[in-house]
Amino acid sequence: MRSLAVRRRREWALAYALVIPALVIFAVFTFYPFIQNFKLALYQNPPYPGLPSHFVGLSQVTSTLTSTSFLQSLESTFEFVLLVVPIGLFGGLMLALAAHKKLKGMAIYQVIFSSTVVSSVAVAAVVFGTLMDPVVGLLPWLGLNPHPAILSNPTWALPAVAVIAIWQFLGLSFIIMTAGLQSMPEEVLEAARLDGARAPTMFFRVTIPLLSPTIFFGLVIGTIYAFQSFGQIDILIGPQNAAFTHTNVLLYYVYTALSVQNNPGLAAVLSIVLFVILLSVTLLQFRFLERRVHYASN
Amino acid sequence: MAKVLFEGVSKRFGDVAAVDQLDLEIADGELLVLLGPSGCGKTTALRMVAGLEEVSDGSLSIGDDVVNDVDPKDRDVAMVFQSYALYPHMTVARNIEFPLRQQRMDAAERTAKVAEAAGTLGLGELLDRKPGQLSGGQRQRVALARAIVRDPKVFLMDEPLSNLDAKLRVQTRADIVSLQRRLGTTTIYVTHDQVEAMTMGHRIAVMQGGKLQQVAPPEELYERPANTFVAAFLGSPGMNLLEAERVGDKLITPAGEINVPEHLSAVLDGPVTLGIRPEGLHLSTSGLAGTILLVEMLGAETQVHCSLEGGATVVVRQGHDAQRPTLGDPVVVGVDAAALHAFGPDGTRVAGT
Ligand SMILES: Nc1ncnc2c1ncn2[C@@H]1O[C@H](COP(=O)(O)OP(=O)(O)OP(=O)(O)O)[C@@H](O)[C@H]1O
Ligand SMILES: [Mg+2]
């Protein structure tokens, strides 16, 4: 008995010893900044750099949350997310279904469809930026010349950058959906065919329910991805652009608050808001959707 | 209800002929068991009837219609899968109801049919559960209920009992047989368990390497196997096989001689493979010489494995009151010559025996 207790203790000691390096890194680079961020939110920076910031309590939080630029940013963010996630998931599912045929050469399509995962934001932005260019892009080539050009058009700039994010998310979405399809019990689908199910019934009553855990996973991942995208916007639009206020999603606002406006206090408030939104959206998804999601149990 | 007819049906996967030139007729209302070792093409044959696998060659009919190119959903066959393949997101009631919904049957009729099928299989209490909340035996019964509820032309069952424990297997076996006899639905039942085959089938079709070896009622299969494969495959253990040569009124084997029995005397000539069931052998003072290799005590009986001079191994079945021999001892195996089977050099049963 005694030796067992000793061994237990040794095992625990070893476990902690192994975890500590990771804990230290997390503490220094994640937990400490995270807490520090809350402190920053309570201090206001003077408009000119170099002067000391001073404690203002929650007044900076309330003034930010009620400002028009914040509300505009919030609206753009949700519009962006609501464009990227559903379209990206649906597109990924369609591609996965198309490539889930036991035909020769399908592997090539699978590689092509999933390739957007490994392309960088910068490359994607430059390619799409060229396609959307008012002079050498696709639209003038088709004889269309919207004015102002798409990427400086307050109405179309956000959907345009959303297209790039969708394109990039498509690869991941395709991989997730393909994994889901491949782990689907083949015999259940065959049983449905023998039971006389026609194509729409197969899809909506069998395939989709069986795939629901996968779709749910994709939804959570996609939402986080969409909330965190801003590289396309920074590269193609930027703060000088006429459409800037309509494409200033939250994370980009955090970035410009810090690097353009030199305002750490504002950036801190915005990043807390983003954190709270992401956390609540994810919790909501788990709470409301998970109950309706089927997890196969045999 | 309908007969099923295989005419020269083959299925090839690349170079592998999973089913090779199968000719087989399953009569209307019959329960035919497809029996054979793993990989012999049983599942493939069944899946071709279901339409889940395309026929490479030959013609497959259900009733009077050739169904080679008919979609699975239009064949009116129901299949019970080894994995049960229940819809995990639907309740038991919904699972059973699913095929009826596809037929656009109206709700009242559907409910009545589900209740009837569930009653038949004792699932009344479980209708609101999901498959994940059921035991293996219960899932199996849900799969059966889903198959019988539509009253299909043909039932296809692919090793439906293999996931059940021994006791439940015996019980469910009996249930399936009585259900099939009552409904009178043509049934193809795949198994590699010969006890299942012997107890369930009107007839048994034995397959090996994609080829049909023999189709016959259980007794005939056991008593008159058509070739050495069927002889050795059926029974536990299977029939003992011995190489011999007929000289005059003797059958000469390396381990000794046997008098040619009357039923073989007119048909045997030259080299022959003799077959004898373990119960046709006994430990004796005259017969074939060998040594005791292994003694297996199985309760009611004992199986004595003997290595005969010349290299052949035979199994002798003893009643439980017999004197049990000791490992390694020399032994003489007596042969009940009247129980001998004879197979020609190509392994097929000698004609006229
Ligand atoms: N989809 C497939 N592709 C290639 N070969 C296959 C395929 N399905 C079956 N085979 C081959 O065909 C042969 C017969 O397979 P089948 O599944 O019909 O055997 P079985 O008699 O049902 O065996 P078991 O008792 O193990 O289930 C095997 O050699 C198998 O490897
Ligand atoms: Mg099989």
**Ion ligand 2 neighbours, Cβ < 5 Å:** B 43
Q: For residue B157, how far is its CA from the centre of ligand 2 (angstroms)?
A: 10
Chain B residue numbers with beta carbons less than 8 Å from the beta carbon of A187 are 81, 83, 85
A184 and A136 within one domain? yes
A260 in a structural domain: yes
Atom of ligand 1 nearest to the CA of B43: 22
Whether residue A114 sits in one domain with residue A25: no
User: For the whole model, what pTM was predicted?
Assistant: 0.81
Question: Which residue in A194, A209, A297 is closest to B50 by CB distance?
Answer: A194
B113 and chain A in contact, CB less than 8 A:
no
Q: Is residue A28 domain-shared with residue A104, that is, in the same domain?
A: no
A32 and A166 fall within a common domain: no
Q: Is residue A84 part of a domain?
A: yes
The minimum-distance atom of ligand 1 relative to the CA of B14 is 4
Query: Is A55 within the bounds of a domain?
Result: no
Among all residues of chain A, which has the CA nearest to that of B149? A195
Reference B32, options B187, B153, B182, B162; nearest CA is: B187
Q: Note whether residue A53 is domain-resident.
A: no
Pairing of strands B57-62, B211-216: unpaired
> What is the extent of the structural domain holding A34?
4-10+16-40
pLDDT tens by residue, chain A, 298 residues: 568 888 899 999 999 999 999 999 999 999 999 999 999 999 888 777 677 888 888 888 999 999 999 999 999 999 999 999 999 999 999 999 998 877 778 888 888 888 888 888 899 999 998 888 888 888 878 877 777 888 888 888 999 999 999 999 999 999 999 999 999 999 999 999 999 999 999 999 999 999 998 999 999 999 999 999 999 999 998 888 888 889 999 999 999 999 888 888 999 999 999 999 999 988 988 887 766 666 654 4
CATH code, domain carrying A131: 1.10.3720.10
Could you identify the atom of ligand 1 that is nearest to the CA of residue B53?
Answer: 1
Shared domain for A117 and A261, answered yes or no, is: yes
pLDDT tens-place values along chain B, 353 residues long: 699 999 999 999 999 999 999 999 999 999 999 999 999 999 999 999 999 999 999 999 999 999 999 999 999 999 999 899 999 999 999 999 999 999 999 999 999 999 999 998 889 999 999 999 999 889 999 999 999 999 999 999 999 988 888 888 888 899 899 999 999 999 999 999 999 999 999 999 999 999 999 999 999 999 999 999 999 999 989 999 999 999 989 999 999 999 999 999 888 888 999 999 999 999 988 899 999 999 998 888 999 999 999 999 999 999 877 788 889 899 999 999 999 999 999 999 998 77
**Which of A197, A209, A297 is closest, CB to CB, to B102?**
A197
B7 contact partners, CB below 8 Å, separation of at least 6? B23, B58, B59, B60, B61
Same domain for A131 and A36:
no
Q: Are residues A252 and A114 in the same domain?
A: yes
DSSP letters, A88-144, are HHHHHHHHHHHH-S--TTHHHHHHHHHGGGGS-HHHHHHHHHHHT-TTTSHHHHTT-
- How far is B66 from chain A, CA to nearest CA, in Å? 17
Same domain flag for A24 and A118 = no
Please indicate if any CB of chain A lies within 8 Å of the CB of B129.
no
Examine the domain organization and report whether A30 and A136 are in the same domain.
no
Residues A36 and A135 in one domain: no
**Into how many domains does chain A fold?**
2
- To test ligand 1's pocket by mutation, which of B16, B20, B188, B191 has the most ligand atoms within 8 angstroms of CB? B16
**B133 CA: distance to closest CA in chain A (Å):** 8
Ligand 1 neighbour B211 (Cβ under 6 A): no
Same domain? A134 vs A264:
yes
Residue with tokens 């005791």: B292
Nearest ligand atom owner, CA of B38: 1
| Sign, Cα dihedral of B217, B220, B222, B225 | negative
Residue B89 and residue A294: Cβ atoms within 8 Å? yes
All domains of chain B in start order, with CATH:
4-232 (3.40.50.300), 240-343 (2.40.50.140)
Question: Distance between terminal CA atoms of chain A?
Answer: 39
Q: Do A212 and B130 touch (CB under 8 A)?
A: no
Residue A48 lies in a domain: no
Distance CA(A77)–CA(A251), nearest Å, equals 9
Indicate whether A50 belongs to any domain: no
Residue A159 located in a structural domain:
yes
B26 backbone dihedrals φ, ψ, rounded to 5°: -105, 120
B39 Cβ closer than 6 Å to some ligand 1 atom: yes
Tell me, using a 6 A CB cutoff, whether residue B87 lines ligand 1.
no
Chain B residue numbers touching A196 (CB-CB < 8 A): 73, 99, 102-103
Let me know how many helices (H) and strands (E) chain A has, helices first: 15, 2
* Nearest residue of chain B to residue A199 (CA atoms): B73
For residue A36 the two structure tokens come to 């520090």
Q: Tell me if A163 is assigned to some domain.
A: yes
Q: Are B78 and B148 in contact (CB under 8 A)?
A: yes
Residue B264, token pair as written in the block: 């073989």
Residue B16 CB less than 6 A away from ligand 1 = yes
* Same domain for A146 and A26: no
